[in-house]
Amino acid sequence: MQYRTLGRTGVQVSTLALGTMNIGPIGGTTQAEADALVGAALDAGVNLVDTADVYGNGLSEEMVGRALAGRRDDVVLATKAALPMGEDRNRRGGSRRWLVTALEDSLRRLGVDHVDLYQIHRWDPTTDDEETLAALTDLRQAGKIRYFGTSTYPAHRLVEAQWTAREHHLGRYVTEQPSYSILQRGIEAHVLPVTQRYGLGVLVWSPLASGWLSGAIRADREIATHRSTFMPQRFDPAVPANRARMDAVERLATVADEAGLTLIQLALGFVTAHPAVTGALIGPRTTEHLRAQLAAADTVLSPDVLDAIDAIVAPGVDLAPHEKNDTPPALLDPALRRR
């Protein structure tokens, strides 16, 4: 396992980190399976575990907390808040009112007195940066969080938040958690240059592109049931973006074969090769999946292989830009651009 410094924090984290969205209802894992996954990951040298309140409506945090019992001090523990937790309009977003409550709920579910990294899951356009940063700064001073960061923020919002922190003498975000894979390279054009400029640690999610780069999705194979039911639109062959992804996967599989690598090793080796990336969040559902992904822990891609990948998916290009989750609100709601 390799380790890198998380931004400017001085904290050393493994280049492969454990994402836990699949622990609980989404992945269908049991507590026993979660215990096995977390234990195997930690034994292999993974030292960052990432979860979120919204995963399974809190159940993932509860299961992760139980799985970490007795090993809390072995990990950099991260969680997230801001996505809706129920129908109440104030149980979401980046307001002080909600973040204080959300963190207390997360600490209770995880069974800990603090988390190492607390992340705003999505930019909240209804809340001023100063409000959110002031609340996070106070939570850090209270000892309930050690650092705070963002997830899936557009580049311009990352810059605005850094300026706000400086102007108002508040703590600043030290990490960003964006979506990044061979098939989704858009952050290379805008987000990663910003994170490098401000010294942010980068923990990328979906490095296997929701399973497209797992080796299980090929032109001659039927797509697994759990994928077609959980996110059917992402695998529907009638969608042009999915046809483009399938073509790219077939060509990437050839590159991997010629390099003596699995497609998983190619995919994870690619994202961790970028100098702006600190680590990749892997999200296995089973210990078998975990072993296949941990096999990429020391993968280093040669320049020739990286050039071959560039020839298939150009730098800065997203094959499915509609899945980015960072679209400006005015592009989604006509009322915001027609008043």
- Which residues are part of the catalytic machinery? 55
Q: Measured between alpha carbons, how far is 7 from 48 in angstroms, rounded to an integer?
A: 14
Tokens at 35, concatenated: 């215990």
Which residue from 106, 24, 34, 27 is spatially nearest to 59, judged by alpha carbons?
Answer: 24
Which residue from 279, 255, 249 is spatially nearest to 180, judged by alpha carbons?
Answer: 279
Q: Measured between alpha carbons, how far is 48 from 65 in angstroms, rounded to an integer?
A: 13
Q: Measured between alpha carbons, how far is 138 from 56 in angstroms, rounded to an integer?
A: 28
Instruction: Identify whether the C-beta of residue 280 lies closer than 8 Å to the C-beta of residue 271.
Output: yes
Q: Which residue has the tokens 């078998």?
A: 288
Instruction: Identify whether the C-beta of residue 183 lies closer than 8 Å to the C-beta of residue 320.
Output: yes
Helix axes 59-67, 96-110, angle to 10 degrees: 40
DSSP run (H or E) holding 151: strand 145-151
CA angle 218, 223, 229 (to 5 degrees): 150
Q: Measured between alpha carbons, how far is 277 from 245 in angstroms, rounded to an integer?
A: 23
Instruction: Identify whether the C-beta of residue 43 lies closer than 8 Å to the C-beta of residue 36.
Output: no
> 3-state class of 191 per DSSP?
helix
Q: CB within 8 A of 131, min separation 6: which ones?
A: 94, 95, 96
